[in-house]
Amino acid sequence: MTALWTAASAKMATGGTGGGGWAASGVTIDSRQVQRGDLFVALQGPNHDGHDHVASAFHAGAAAAMVSCAPPDVEADAPLLTVPDTQSGLEALGEAARARFCGKVAALTGSVGKTGSKEMLRLVLSAQGLTSATIGNLNNHIGAPLTMARLPESAAFAVVELGMNHAGAIGPLSRMVRPEVALITRIAPAHIEFFDSLDGIADAKAEIFEGLQPGGTAIVNADDGYPDRLGAAALRAGAARVMRFGEASNADARLVRLGLHSDRTEVEANVLGQRIAYEIGVPGKHWALNSLGVLLAAGSLGVDPVAAAEALAAIRPPAGRGATERLTLPQGRITLIDESYNASPAAMQAAFAVLTAHEPPTGGRRIAILGDMLELGHAAPAEHAALGDHLAELPVDLVYAAGPEMAAMVQRLRPDQRAGYAADTAAIANEIVPGLAAGDVVLVKGSLGIKMARIVDSLRAAVAAGSVREE
């Protein structure tokens, strides 16, 4: 097992103290996820203190633990790396990992599409060499240094997702990651509760350019209204070039033709003057547009765009972000589109396009089960009402809604679309399954905080005994 960190290298990186000749093959901050050989970092948060779980981490096979003080329930000779502050120690590991890394780094952010784009770029680069990437959405002030601390020195590429909900969050992370390529997927109303305007969101996302390496490339969306503002920010930060993707005529990677299917997306694009046709293994125009940014990023890292495009047929959506399942309920088989992880106005629109691209069999219907979009601040009533106006024009047969903000949406639906409404997901979950019929195509989408996963769980729980769920 290759050592990611040794006692000596970790002490040098952090300035910590401690004995033992330990070697760790991984890094984790969750004692429940410890793998044998991990370095467990005992972070202190407002609700939990990792020091309370150091003994559990060792019991699970941790090679060592980073602590700010020795927990009373561990052996006196336990392999501890003691630092003044474990959050700062984790950041120091991340910075040291980047300093020793000789591969190439891409960083991504955006109001929507960053995790899917990260997964596409990870897939594309993995076909070219060992690639390390952010796991899930570990993209904040804890997740980003953790991602870097896990970066193998021998990897060829790293793909790092950076997120934020306030100004000043991404800049320090970008300066730690120091990418050769920085990609912003799209500027849209998300986390707008913490900003005065979309301009503020754009400026906060543009902080990703602050860490660009000399000669680095910035990639921005040509269609969202912010390519000039973001491009100027990138050039001020020292970007050697700014590239655009989208449908605009001046895009460096431009969508030429789109073919939407229930299980895939066909794309024709002009990428830096080269016509490329390819398939993406998930449905949705938003996947097609984001793939264009991915191809520019891959090309900027030295990967042939044609080879990169060919790899995208194998992409599958992350959990809760568009995965499609066939479920056999007592009434018959339905199709579930699981978009339960999160939601914003732009992401809702993209999900509706996927739902309407499905053609239900005879007797089946298109059904949307929607939860509140959170962190929209004063814009929430108007944005939720606008969803209702949009849905009223779509071939969506029934709409269930949960959450206080969704009341504004329900009022704008067609009367025949209104299937049910409740203030929370727990209250409506049991109403949905009895109202389904064989052939229905069911979309579940809402912000993480509204717990739309309850709806998905209730649908899966209703699967007839002995039936098989088909991915």
Do 310 and 367 reside in the same domain of the chain? no
Q: What is the DSSP string of 197-252?
A: SHHHHHHHHGGGGGGPPTT-EEEEESSSS-HHHHHHHHHHTT-SEEEEEESSTT-S
CATH number at residue 273: 3.40.1190.10
Residue with tokens 């401690």: 18
Could you list the residue range(s) of the whole structural domain that residue 424 is in?
323-461
Radius of gyration from C-alpha coordinates of the chain = 23
Do 129 and 271 reside in the same domain of the chain? yes
Q: Could you state, in chain order, the average pLDDT of each consecutive group of 10 residues for the chain (471 residues)?
A: 91 93 96 97 93 97 97 94 98 98 98 94 97 93 97 97 93 98 92 79 97 98 97 98 98 96 93 97 94 98 97 90 90 93 90 94 96 90 96 97 96 96 90 93 94 92 57 45
CATH number at residue 78: 3.40.1390.10
Do 350 and 423 reside in the same domain of the chain? yes
Q: What pLDDT does residue 58 have? A: 97
CATH number at residue 362: 3.90.190.20
Do 241 and 342 reside in the same domain of the chain? no
Neighbouring C-beta atoms of residue 468, cutoff 10 Å: 9
Does residue 467 lie within any of the structural domains? no
Do 169 and 67 reside in the same domain of the chain? no
Q: How far apart are CA 214 and CA 212, in angstroms?
A: 7
For residues 50 and 23, the answer to whether their CB atoms sit within 8 Å is: no
Instruction: Check the CA dihedral 4-8-10-12 and report its sign.
Output: negative
CA distances from 198 to 192, 201, 233, 252, 278 (A): 7, 5, 15, 24, 33
Do 246 and 112 reside in the same domain of the chain? yes
Does residue 94 lie within any of the structural domains? no
Neighbouring C-beta atoms of residue 443, cutoff 10 Å: 26
Does residue 453 lie within any of the structural domains? yes
Does residue 92 lie within any of the structural domains? no
Q: What pLDDT does residue 208 have? A: 98
Does residue 96 lie within any of the structural domains? no
Do 173 and 293 reside in the same domain of the chain? yes
Do 307 and 328 reside in the same domain of the chain? no
Do 113 and 157 reside in the same domain of the chain? yes
Q: What pLDDT does residue 467 have? A: 42
Does residue 91 lie within any of the structural domains? no
How many domains are there within the chain? 3
Domain end call among 245, 280, 314? 314
Residue with tokens 């002490």: 11
Do 204 and 177 reside in the same domain of the chain? yes
Do 27 and 51 reside in the same domain of the chain? yes
Does residue 363 lie within any of the structural domains? yes
Domain end call among 269, 288, 314? 314
| Residues constituting the chain | 471
Residue 439 in tokens: 């052939």
Q: How far apart are CA 22 and CA 5, in angstroms?
A: 9
Task: Quote the DSSP letter at residue 381.
Answer: H
Does residue 445 lie within any of the structural domains? yes
Q: What pLDDT does residue 306 have? A: 96
Q: How far apart are CA 342 and CA 319, in angstroms?
A: 11
pTM: predicted TM-score of the whole model, two decimal places: 0.88
Neighbouring C-beta atoms of residue 6, cutoff 10 Å: 16
Domain end call among 54, 85, 116? 85
Q: What pLDDT does residue 469 have? A: 44
Name the residue among 158, 124, 44, 469 with its Cα closest to residue 305: 124
Do 110 and 44 reside in the same domain of the chain? no
